[in-house]
């Protein structure tokens, strides 16, 4: 997945979820800080999904996002990438203080934040690879 694909997926999710933010978790969230990971020879080139969670969470919005942007849906067949919609219970598994490490950015009409992952910091690297968090990960 490329950063532009992730940005497109997030814009699509935000358009559907209206006033909700979109949290991006997992490896695709690294693209906000390290866009070259999605280059053709990069480790995320063969990633075709982003794990997202609407916030505030509600089940109907999650179902709607899955039906519109999920795997094997028309969006995926057209664009070649999709969203895996997570439930907000996943947020309980994140390390303490993860929200305080988010930095806000502006993304069109939506606020966006990203949590930069420091490659020199082992905990940050593991967190970024496994549970990296980006809310509406878009370039400024």
List pLDDT tens digits, range 63-112: 999 999 999 999 999 999 999 999 999 888 888 887 776 655 445 555 44
The C-alpha atoms of residue 82 and residue 128 are separated, in whole angstroms, by 20
Structure tokens at 53: 């969670």
| Angle at alpha carbon of residue 67, lines to 61 and 82, rounded to 5° | 105
List pLDDT tens digits, range 127-136: 333 333 444 4
Answer whether 53's CB lies under 8 Å from 85's CB: yes
Quote the pTM value: 0.76
The C-alpha atoms of residue 6 and residue 50 are separated, in whole angstroms, by 7
The C-alpha atoms of residue 11 and residue 136 are separated, in whole angstroms, by 8
CB count within 10 Å of CB 72 equals: 8
């Amino acid at each position: 997945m490329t950063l532009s694909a992730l940005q497109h997926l997030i814009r699509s999710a935000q358009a559907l979820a209206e006033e909700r933010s979109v949290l991006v978790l997992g490896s695709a969230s690294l693209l906000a800080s390290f866009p070259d990971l999605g280059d053709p020879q990069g480790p995320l080139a063969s990633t075709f999904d982003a794990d997202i969670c609407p916030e505030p969470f509600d089940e109907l919005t999650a179902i709607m996002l899955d039906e519109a942007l999920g795997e094997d849906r028309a969006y995926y067949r057209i664009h070649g990438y999709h969203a895996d919609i997570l439930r907000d219970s996943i947020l309980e598994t994140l390390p303490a203080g993860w929200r305080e490490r988010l930095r806000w950015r502006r993304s069109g009409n939506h606020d966006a934040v990203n949590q930069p992952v420091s490659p020199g910091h082992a905990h940050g690297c593991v967190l970024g690879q496994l549970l990296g968090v980006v809310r509406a990960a878009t370039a400024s």
